[in-house]
Structure 1
């Protein structure tokens, strides 16, 4: 189990790193959307490529962050009934869900998604819109996203089994991290304290 926990920790690290950087895709999509609107209004010019790259970036952000979202416990859960049960019962429900719902769905999507991506890649499929982009990069997000989600599902499964064995703390409790604003306020406070403690 200790080897599996190390594997789980590695998967958590991977999805955490991807989640941190995928956020920039949302910013890029927003900037491109704004620039496209300005160019269209000011110069009366538009391009389907500008529109499609926004969709591609949003699709990449949505798919690649799926594992990170599961890591953070932010996937939609219907816990009206499970919240009334004991912690062990809740953990067993999670285990059942990861093993018999999440894993089969991810494997099924990968089974069909990988050939779908490869077909688009080998044919160099292009958008039917004038000036549109090639399609395979966005097709690649399907197997990549579900592979990361599958890995994170395995990590969550390992953590819950380890919790039942008493090896780790409750993995469903969210670790509250400081927001960037809180970190900035704390840094300013420390700097002010350091300045006030210096001799005048």
Structure 2
């Protein structure tokens, strides 16, 4: 038992990727204007409750919430959460399902999907959050280091691979959503937004945001 404990300590990753190179600045990475999208001044996504916000602030190193509007007046909400330590369950970015459920939303139609972009195929998860008359279709994905993943076994395997190299990966949750009763239309608009956004981010930053996509 002592030998196993010592081996576990020796294999515990200690080298943080977040401490290497330039400091992550998510406000810089995500442009305020691209294609026909621009940040809508004074309009932010719905605020979370104080207790949920306190938990998020303790978990993440940086967060970003914006609402974008296009030339047709259509709106997309973008929420980013970045954490410098994605080595385990206690520090990893949490699934949006937890935050929405804590806010009293009813969740349904949770499924995996994908978005075809200029850089490759992006795996995403989609779900619907409903509270009263508010119907919010959601699309999100997670990056661990330079790999894109979804919650579950895939994410754990990536964490394990990094751990075996002695490195602590950072990670990012990227979530887009919109208020729309027409779910199919909402996802089409979100896909369009994601394509435009990734095309506007430089190649190096795009890997941090969406991983190394397969063409």
Whether the TM-score (by the shorter chain) exceeds 0.5 is: no
What TM-score bracket applies, with the shorter chain setting the length? under 0.3
Q: Which has the higher helix share?
A: 1
* TM-score under structure 2 length normalisation: 0.25
Q: Which has the higher contact order (CA 8 A, sep 6+)?
A: 1
